[in-house]
Chain A
Amino acid sequence: MPPLWLVLIVLALGVVGYVLGRQKAMTSADGDSRHLHSLPVYYGTNVSLFVVLPALLVMVCWLIVQPILINNSVAGQIPASAIPDSGTLGLVMSDVRRVADGLDLAVSQGAMTGAEAGALQAGATDVRQLLADVGVALGSDVTETTLSAAQSFRSKSATGNLVMTVVVLALAVAGFVYSYGRTNKDFRARNVVEKVIRGILILAASIAILTTVGIVLSLVFNTIEFFKLYPAADFFFGTTWSPSFGGGSELGVLPLLWGTLYISVIALAVAVPIGLFAAIYLSEYAGPKARGIAKPLIEVLAGIPTIVYGLFALLTVGPLLVNTFGDGGALGVDWMSGASSVTTAGLVMGIMLIPFVSSLSDDIINAVPQAMRDGSFGLGATKSETVKQVVLPAALPGIVGAILLAASRAIGETMIVVLGAGAAARLSMNPLEAMTTVTAKIVSQLTGDADFASPEALVAFALGMTLFVMTLGLNVLALYIVRKYREQYE
């Protein structure tokens, strides 16, 4: 039975369970819901939760585990001699799955019966032609080993699916019997439902955490793989970045890190003063009308996709800078040759970060109690004195947190850099020169036909790990600062 049907049947059982559970509870209370421990809706929900949840959970796990198990057992059947020298077991297995899928398709289209598919002989029938007729193209003729493996794959999947259907339906029914049996007017259905809901919430939270762990693990293994092929010292302390897929590449991270930090510093130098001053204006000086208009307008900046900022850098800011600092420009100097430069990307990234800084700082400044301001005004301080000496110090930890968050955004930013800063990895102090960042290089190392066994592709994971550690460090620092100084005012 296809999984979708199974899900629908289980859900239908759940609905039936709801109705029956509610009914039984009402009957046991002689039709008067005041005699029940919980509201009738809880009795229904309780039964349907017990029907649906265990069955669907088991089904999801089964669907994940079954292919892995079958894959392994079929792979064990393939003799080492059947694997061609140039290929690997994985390639043969993908052939096997393809043939198996093709046979499934042939059966479902009526080209043959299930029994015929199981009895096919590679020598007797042209399997390749047969599958091509139903729309599955194979790269080569099907060998006897592949075909028999595919047949075994099919029969095992079919058995597995059948067992799964039975188990899932049995669980649904068992859940119904158990919870329906418990239902009577004194049963505390409300508390049980509460516990189940708590479980669902915990599950959601742990999925988010586990995903993070999964992402880190996938980075870690590939990074370790990379360091097996390329010395770590050369990676961390190398000052040249010149990957070449032919071999003999130099993969020093320093030029990339330098580019990342340089661009981020320029971006923050733009975003922090502007964002902070905007936040101070909005929270301390602006009237409710001005604030109501200006705040959403500033936050619109946060909604612009970064690729659009990239275009802005490429088409507007870059040429503008060249017209100013370039040959024959407004200043009459020749400092800048191309539109791509650290300054271009930094300026545009700074603009992108303004709403982060201003919006977070605005919230934090607003959270400073009015009593602080009153106290300062009451002593004869002006508005700017109050802001400078009372409000900002009180809000400082939060503002530092906001700035660090903006910094980790800047470090992780990619599109603006790709379009605005150029692709040349170099160590230079000149802000008008093209440079590149870690993120941009990750993109360029992994796009195109990369061989995932080569250090030139695997270096992307090491770069990703480096970035991850940097931004994680910044976030931890931000959290630490915010926590440490949070209770400065009451």
Chain B
Amino acid sequence: MYDNPNLERKVAQQDTKISARNVQVFYGDTHAIKDVNIEIPSRTVTAFIGPSGCGKSTFLRCLNRMNDTIDICRVEGDIDLDGENIYDKRVDPVQLRAKVGMVFQKPNPFPKSIYDNIAYGPRIHGLAKNKADLDEIVEKALRRGAIWNEVKDRLHAPGTGLSGGQQQRLCIARAVATEPEVLLMDEPCSALDPIATSQVEELIDELRDQYSVVIVTHSMQQAARVSQKTAFFHLGNLVEYGDTGQIFTNPQDSRTESYITGRIG
């Protein structure tokens, strides 16, 4: 078999961050996720696409055990983060979520000041030695969230007073402030206008050199713009997973092709 030396080098660079094997999710009696296997590489943007109700958000929420907060939800199978099963009994979901941060569909800043919004995570996890340290963490996170210049003069104004796009970047900065290794984003731009969307997309692209980013999106253009890997979900199944370019130009599965050309979904 002919080995592509180029491909070889890429895989060696990108070690697997998260790997899921035979994951099943049930909501009560509903079988929401069926037998999903996926390997998510580190320092990459991975996009989950698929029609509404296909389970992509549900699967995303499995990755930091946010589904634990829903009573009727049951997860089976193994999900490994850096080779350790996150559904192991010894794993504390609270600590896991500090490592796997999450940004939600609707911007949800806390009813606190901008500063306190960012400082929330570092304070809980004791990341700052003193006030100066905390100030530095907050500034770094806000810069990373590409919002520092807009809010540096009003750090103590309420975070809810920002515009929608600013709020979402604030939430990304808030997630970044706890120094996670993986950042999960659940349709982060669906409540934003095109300008705010492009700002957030730029930001996602910058975040790639430090974090593994997994993003759920309904916009295929967005998936094509920001991601290197794309997974297509349909009716709870992971239909196809591969390099973004290949999924969009040369899909292997007929369902993927129908979806990206707009025939289903």
Contact residues of A with B, CB < 8 Å?
A: 287-288, 369, 371-382, 385, 389-390, 393-394, 488-490
The reply to whether A379 and B120 form a contact with Cβ atoms under 8 Å apart is yes
A-B contact count (CB 8 A): 77
* Interface range, B side: 20 to 34
**Inter-chain contact B124/A385, CB cutoff 8 Å:** yes
Quick check: A375 and B108 within 8 Å, CB to CB?
Answer: yes
In the complex, are the beta carbons of B106 and A371 less than 8 A apart?
A: yes
- A288 in contact with B175 given A374-B66, A394-B111, A488-B160 (CB within 8 Å): no
Q: Which of A375, A381, A488, A489 contacts B104 (CB 8 A)?
A: A375
- A378 near B120 (CB under 8 angstroms)? no
**6 further interface pairs, Cβ-Cβ under 8 Å (given A369-B108, A380-B125):** A371-B104, A371-B108, A372-B110, A374-B108, A375-B110, A379-B101
A379–B111 touching, CB < 8 Å: no
Q: Nearest chain-B residue to A382 (Cβ)?
A: B94
Binary flags per residue of B141-159, CB closer than 8 Å to A gives 1, else 0 = 0000000000000000010
Q: Flag whether B97 is at the interface (Cβ < 8 A).
A: yes
Judge whether A379 and B98 touch: CB under 8 Å: yes
Give the CA-CA distance A385 to B98 in the complex, in Å. 14
Known: A371-B106, A372-B108, A382-B94. A377 touches B66 (CB 8 A): yes
> Is B69 at the interface (CB under 8 A from chain A)?
yes
Residues of A within 8 Å of B124, CB to CB, are: 379-381, 385, 389
In the complex, which residues of chain A have a beta carbon less than 8 angstroms from the beta carbon of B110?
372, 375-376, 389-390, 393-394
Interface residue? B178 (CB, 8 A): yes
Query: CB distance A375 to B171 under 8 Å?
Result: yes
Q: Could you name 18 residue pairs across A and B whose Cβ atoms are closer than 8 Å?
A: A369-B108, A372-B110, A373-B69, A374-B69, A375-B108, A376-B110, A378-B66, A378-B175, A379-B120, A379-B174, A379-B178, A380-B94, A380-B95, A381-B121, A389-B124, A393-B111, A488-B160, A489-B160
CA distance A381 to B121 in the complex (A): 7
B3 located at the interface, meaning its Cβ lies under 8 Å from any Cβ of chain A in the complex: no
Interface residues of B in 98-131 (CB under 8 A from A): 98-99, 101-104, 106, 108-112, 120-121, 124-125
If A488-B160, A490-B160 touch, whether A380 touches B98 (CB-CB below 8 Å) is yes
Q: Which residues of A contact B106 (CB under 8 A)?
A: 371
Of B94, B98, B108, B121, chain A has the most CB atoms within 10 Å of the CB of: B108
- Judge whether A376 and B66 touch: CB under 8 Å: no
Cα–Cα distance between A150 and B71 once the two chains are bound (Å): 79
